[in-house]
Amino acid sequence: MAISSSLANPCLLAFPSNITVHTQSLSKPNIKLTIQTKQIDIATKCATMNSVTITETAPKKFQKVHPNSHPLTPVDFLERAATVYGDCPSILYNDTTYTWSETYERCLNLASSISSLGVKKGDVVSVLAPNIPSMYELHFAAPMAGAVLNTINIRLDARTISIILLHSESKLVFVDHQSCSLVLEAMSMIPSAVWSKRPILVYIDEEGEEEDETSFGGNKKGLFRHSYSDMLRGGNCEFKYVGPDSEWDPITLNYTSGTTSSPKGVLHCHRGAFAATISSLVNWSLTSESVFLWTLPMFHANGWSYAWAMAAVGGTNICLRHRVDADSIYQAIAKHGVTHFCGVPAVLNMLANDSTKTGQLRTPVHILTAGAPPPAAVLERIEWLGFRVTHGYGLTETGGLVVTCAWKPKWDKLPALERAALKARQGVRSVGFGGIDVVNKHTGKSVKRNGKTVGEIVLKGASLMLGYFKDPDGTSKCMTEDGWFYTGDIGVMHTDGYVEVKDRSKDIIICGGENISSVEVESVLYMHPAVNEVAVVAQPDKFWGETVCAFVSLKRGAEKPTEKEVREFCKERLPLYMVPRRVVFKEALPKTSTGKIQKFLLRDITRKLK
């Protein structure tokens, strides 16, 4: 008899008096008697029950009912934060401070105004803004109105933004004043015949800003019909926000960064966002005392779900408008007592190579990094400064980081470089995630756990996307019937069960039949004292098929080495076939808005090299 785990006491089974149990001579559990009692305590009857089979006719299967089926959603965290942490600071931005009670009221006002503009459940609401309070608030206000939140990368070009707005069928677009011209240009690219009913534009204004020809106050064409401040003032703080009918209802529509191809619309549900948020809290042990610096763009996978996570614990968000640099991070740490922030390895590299920072931090600051394996040399330097680095792994399709390098205390006793090498691994699945494996992409079978045999990384769990919006073929290619999501990332499984990403499948270099991991070559180049950033890609070769080409930017003030010197440096540390045939020096490497190096642009350059 199957018993639901939802029972208050799983050891206590409730039986009606008309259950008949029959004796059989079988090795499987069975007995023969008529049970007259209405309860059996398994804890005390376990010895007898091991030899019984029960045939029941009366009890019905436990049903999902309204009290136990309230949809899981991260939006509910905000109401709780207002109750528990109402007087505590939720957002610090320049000279402005909001409490959790104020943030909750502002989101209710905003949600009611969104609804009053005709936005219905399931409609898409877009936003183009940096990490300012309005961007944070819309993570709650949009779904509170029943809408699907679409955060758009503010560093995209007008053409790509026009494609996203058209593809998403956005009904309402919130636009920060710095992105007004960009959005107007994007809108002008869409013919009326293609898009007859264009979205309503809302201008995000801030106190004390100067009006220009594209601002709400100076908008002569009337394209921006509403302002953010007006929607807050005209809203209803008694608004009963619109919860999801089902936890499978969509909550966000995020577009991939386009490092390897055109952006795809990734649809996530309330349940998945909730699971991702809970995992993020456990991964990093955030509390109400945590002070989170928004160095990671919230438009990137909803800030890896930390927009919702900070509400769950009632911590403090430090919002930043301007582009993040080492100076602004160190200033925020000193001024606000920052305890946590996220960033791609480029941020770690920037902090490690900041020439003005010669001393160590007074108190440890935690960094969660992902996007590419951080070089061991950078990790060693950054930890000396006083940062505590946690390495994770995730994609837009996973709704945040679903794999983290869970640290073991015994590793603290290892030499610095060995610790850094362990920390460069991606790790194990998060507590709220289903599973991770490395498989042979042709057979689907797990590869050997030896840290050497490469395969494709596959994932499964609650926070995975519903699918690609309007792209069933693309969805079916990566989310297969065997229950796994195929990431396209190449990795190995170590003997201890920790996964390490070796490369994107497209970044593996095949030279004379040998598979070369660009990440391994990059990690060696990062050891060179003059190297600031590096990206290794394949260069077409008539004889070998492909050879290794390294693009390098140098540290400020460093003496420039020759191409030959860099190659000799690599020869001392790598097999000959992995040594770059070409080393190309550049002032800066092309990156996405989140700091990922755009290798496809570098591959284009290699085709023109002689």
- Residue span(s) of the chain under CATH 3.30.300.30 come to 508-606
Per-range mean pLDDT, top range of 91-95, 208-212, 504-508 = 91-95
- 529 secondary structure, DSSP code: T
Is the per-residue pLDDT at 226 higher than 70? yes
Contact 469, 452 (CB under 8 A): no
Band the pLDDT of 29: cuts 50, 70, 90. Answer: very low
Alpha-carbon separation of residue 198 from 179, 202, 216 (angstroms): 18, 13, 18
| Residue carrying structure tokens 């905003």 | 110
Is the per-residue pLDDT at 563 higher than 90? yes
Helix axis angle, 345-352 relative to 326-336, nearest 10°? 80
Alpha helices of 27-157 — where are they, by DSSP H? 42-49, 76-84, 100-116, 133-144
Phi, psi of 92 (to 5 degrees): -115, 130
Is the per-residue pLDDT at 533 higher than 90? yes
| 378-407 tens-digit pLDDT | 888 888 899 999 999 999 999 999 999 999
Per-range mean pLDDT, top range of 62-76, 197-211, 465-479 = 465-479
Contact 18, 58 (CB under 8 A): yes
Give CA–CA dist 129/482, Å, rounded: 39
Give CA–CA dist 308/183, Å, rounded: 27
Lowest mean pLDDT among 139-143, 149-153, 571-575, 582-586: 571-575
Q: Where are the beta strands (DSSP E) in 148-276?
A: 148-151, 172-176, 200-204, 224-227, 250-255, 265-269
Task: Given CATH 3.40.50.12780, say whether it is the number of domain 97-268.
Answer: yes
| 32-52 tens-digit pLDDT | 333 333 333 333 333 333 333
β-bridge partners, 492: 500
Say how many Å lie between the first and final Cα of the chain, rounded.
73
- Residue span(s) of the chain under CATH 3.40.50.12780 come to 97-268
Structure tokens belonging to residue 358: 């010669």
Is the per-residue pLDDT at 216 higher than 60? no
Phi, psi of 193 (to 5 degrees): -65, -30
Q: 3-class DSSP state for residue 518?
A: helix
Band the pLDDT of 302: cuts 50, 70, 90. Answer: very high
Lowest mean pLDDT among 108-122, 286-300, 337-351: 337-351
Is the per-residue pLDDT at 596 higher than 60? yes
The residue among 307 and 67 whose pLDDT is bigger is 307
- Average predicted confidence (pLDDT) for the chain: 84
Give CA–CA dist 255/269, Å, rounded: 15
Mean pLDDT of 290-299: 95
Task: Tell how strand 316-318 and strand 89-93 pair up.
Answer: parallel
| 434-453 tens-digit pLDDT | 999 999 988 999 999 999 99
| 152-169 tens-digit pLDDT | 989 888 888 999 999 999
Fold of 508-606: GMP Synthetase; Chain A, domain 3 (3.30.300)
Q: Where are the beta strands (DSSP E) in 440-593?
A: 455-460, 467-468, 485-493, 499-504, 509-511, 514-516, 531-541, 545-554, 582-585
* pLDDT attached to residue 36: 38
Mean pLDDT of 250-258: 87
* pLDDT attached to residue 333: 94
Contact 160, 258 (CB under 8 A): yes
